[in-house]
Amino acid sequence: MPGEPPRVQPSKRRQDKADADYLAPKADRDEEHRERWGMPVVPPVAPMLAKPVAGFDAKAVAGADVRFEPKWDGFRSIIFRSGDQVEIGSRNEKPLTRYFPELVEAVLANFPDRAVIDGEIVVERPEGDRLDFELLQHRIHPAASRIRKLAAETPARFVAFDLLALGDEDLTGQPFRERRARLEVALAAARAPIHLTPMTSDRGVAREWFHQFEGAGLDGIIAKPADGVYEPNKRSMFKIKHERTADCVVAGYREHKSGPDAVGSLLLGLYDDEGNLASVGVIGAFPMATRRALVEELAPLVTGWDDHPWAWAQQLEGQRTPQAAAGSRWTAGKDLSFIPLRPERVVEVRYDHMEGVRFRHTAQFVRWRPDKDPRECTYAQLEEPVSYDLRAVLDGGGAGR
């Protein structure tokens, strides 16, 4: 399900001081944090993001002065250290500190006295041969006793790849090449479980990494503009992945043809530039046991139409909903009404390509993404195909001119 952890319901866990800090008014919180941390960059900070591109020959990467790094498959995290204070941030800007006590100890032992470092929290299989995202997800647990047990049984590692602040210096406005050089010096003496990610400017090496590192559970390559500044919450980097995927909001489900005790398909949405949740497609391939389990799993999210972003849709038998998908001859006469859900759950899907604003074919389930904020599920994450003259394609075969 690079990203973040499952959300533990407030009613099921202790709300510690860090959580309360994150709920305070931003102006008050920032002022308090500046005084508390005594650094130019203080929590929370949303990490800089990456936009997917087709490959090493994509316009944004080919010929550009970029640095390549492996794409780690874990929880994205910005870690703050000031003296004996440590806070482990997350992609959604909520603290993860209490879930990774072993990393707090490692940060105190390996980070500079005052530093803010961006990186990825990862967990490996017991065999040590590859990363295991599922084991990492299990580390997010409400019980303190369980947290201690998991920290010993499946300890996490932190892979550093950017430096936002060091001492009194705010480095976010410096080019990446400078931040990287400073990071290498800052962590020169660091030991496991703190690691510095590999980096290269050699495209040939990066291509080898792309193919080789997948076998170790990594997720592709990140390309960073060498002169790029650090832009929180902006897609200023590029990612080259082994498959085309998207993170979508689950906004509803259709009942299975066998009855209401099983899910037939999940309805997917993406937010457009105006903040509207658009219908983009469905996932439909699940084992029957999973279909039945999903009905119970999604039950707490079932909502009324008045509170739903697709409130214009009507649950009328035989009518296709959402309305944006109307007119398909393949579904004429079928009951495509759906059960509306609060748009709070995110799923990663695999798809081949877009047709207009929707997936061309039924998407394939990859994994749940409880670490992702639904509002991050936008069209901006999708690769934007380069415009091409259709006539040139039609004429390219030499016939029909």
71 is a catalytic site residue: yes
C-alpha 16/C-alpha 140 separation (Å) is 15
Q: Report CA-CA distances (Å) from 252 to 33, 320, 354, 398.
A: 40, 13, 21, 47
Cis ω before 44 (30° cut-off from 0) = yes
> Looking at 12, 71, 224, 241, which residue is catalytic?
71
**Catalytic residues, which ones?**
71
